[in-house]
Structures are given as C-alpha cells and as structure tokens.
Chains A and B, each alone.
Chain A
Amino acid sequence: GAVVSQHPSRVICKSGTSVKIECRSLDFQATTMFWYRQFPKQSLMLMATSNEGSKATYEQGVEKDKFLINHASLTLSTLTVTSAHPEDSSFYICSAYREPYGYTFGSGTRLTVV
C-alpha cells in the first residue's frame, strides 16, 4: 500500500528560528501534496496545495513567506516554518495524492516553539 513518511515526528525550536518538515511518498510518485495544520482539539485546516515543480497554492490567511513549501520532486515536499513563534506551535500533517491510492497521510509533526 501507499506510505507517506513525515519527518521529524517531534521538534522543539527556539523562537525566531526556522524549522523544516519533510514529507516523502515512499512507494509512489505523488501527483499532489497537501499541508495541514491542526491545533489541539480542533480539526485539520488546509494550509497549502503543492504540485511538483510549481509554486504552492496557499489558503487564505496562510502567510506564504512564513510557511515556505518546496516540492522539488514527485516524492518529496518540504514545509519550512520561518522565524517561528510560539503561536506557530501546532501539529503539522502532510498528505499525498495519487490514483489509485487516493489520499495518503503522513504521521504528523508536533512543533513546539519555545
């Protein structure tokens, strides 16, 4: 079956620093990748949609200069949280799409900014 690996699973960083989160489709090439953010006891909120070789499409209210998405290949997308602040602390989840597998989710990254 389709597997998406997300790394790291947990990260703690200091306020003002940047953090990179990787999302890899292990056994398939993803047509599209998606990034979500989830605050405690809330639903998954779509941040951006990413296609290989093109600029990501960000949802309204998501700062593209703060949340940098790079989709360099059909198997790898990265999300970089720049100049992180405590309010960026959240659970970040990626998803990869490819027929016939549909949507496959990563295991998430818990970001804590101190």
Chain B
Amino acid sequence: GESVGLHLPTLSVQEGDNSIINCAYSNSASDYFIWYKQESGKGPQFIIDIRSNMDKRQGQRVTVLLNKTVKHLSLQIAATQPGDSAVYFCAESPNQAGTALIFGKGTTLSVSS
C-alpha cells in the first residue's frame, strides 16, 4: 500500500447509508489483502480478507472487492452505524504467507446519526 506519512482522508456518511472505502496497493505480486478497523488508541481489528484468486468476498454487512488490473481494493459497509466510525486500513501481504503486512494510508469514517 501507499504507506506514506500523509493525513488520512475522511468519509462522512449518515447512519443507514452504505459506505465505500477505497485503497490502492502498490505491489502487483501481493496475493493476500486484509481490511482493518482501528479505533482511537487501539490496535487494528480484523474485518475481512481476500486472496488474489478472488475478486469479491462478503461478510456480515461488509464486502471486499479486489481489482488486480488496477491494483485497487475497496471495502463496502452496508447500513453504516455510528459504531462503524473509525479509521479503516487496507493491508497487503507481498509474498508468501507470514511475511509482514504493509498498510495503506487509511480512511477515517465518520458516521452521524
């Protein structure tokens, strides 16, 4: 991911809306991707993952889409709730299993009720 020291972009939505958070990753050889949620002062919390042999994966209220052609990852959150407010990061695993995750810039999601 583009893990550089820039301020995080912000997405503001109303409660009940669907949210889409985007991420561009850098390494075309990456074969495993994870979305994390991070609340203030806490460590990252796993949301959903996807391998490069898939282009879509669904969880409870969340969907991850992978477009390897343009090296783009997105996280869709359905019926966004105030409790979803947090910073969201995509992370990629460049090579084999167990190598370090590289984190993207992150997006701050703000949900108003």
Please give the residue numbers on chain A whose beta carbons come within 8 Å of chain B beta carbons, in ascending order.
6, 31-32, 34, 36, 39, 41-46, 49, 91, 93, 95, 97, 99, 102-103, 105-108, 110
Contact B103 A107 (CB under 8 A): no
Shortest CB distance B26–A (Å): 13
- Report Cα–Cα, A76/B42, bound state, in Å: 20
Shortest CB distance B52–A (Å): 15
Please give the residue numbers on chain B whose beta carbons come within 8 Å of chain A beta carbons, in ascending order.
1, 3-8, 34, 36, 41-46, 49, 89, 97-106
Contact B103 A49 (CB under 8 A): no
Chain A residues contacting B106 (CB-CB under 8 Å) are: 42-43
Contact B6 A42 (CB under 8 A): yes
- Pick from B42, B98, B101: contact of A107, CB under 8 Å: B42
Known contacts A95-B101, A107-B43, A108-B43; A44 and B89 CB within 8 A of each other: yes
- Report Cα–Cα, A23/B105, bound state, in Å: 25
Contact A93 B43 (CB under 8 A): yes
- Report Cα–Cα, A59/B10, bound state, in Å: 29
Interface centre among B7, B49, B103 (most CB of A within 10 A): B103
Closest residue of chain B to A59 (Cβ to Cβ) is: B100
Shortest CB distance B68–A (Å): 21
Contact A43 B97 (CB under 8 A): no
Known contacts A44-B44, A102-B49, A105-B43; A34 and B3 CB within 8 A of each other: no
Chain A residues contacting B6 (CB-CB under 8 Å) are: 42
- Since A97-B98, A110-B41 are in contact, a sample of 15 more A-B pairs with Cβ atoms closer than 8 Å, ordered by chain A residue number, is A31-B98, A32-B98, A34-B101, A41-B7, A43-B1, A43-B4, A43-B104, A44-B3, A45-B3, A49-B99, A93-B43, A95-B101, A99-B98, A103-B34, A108-B42
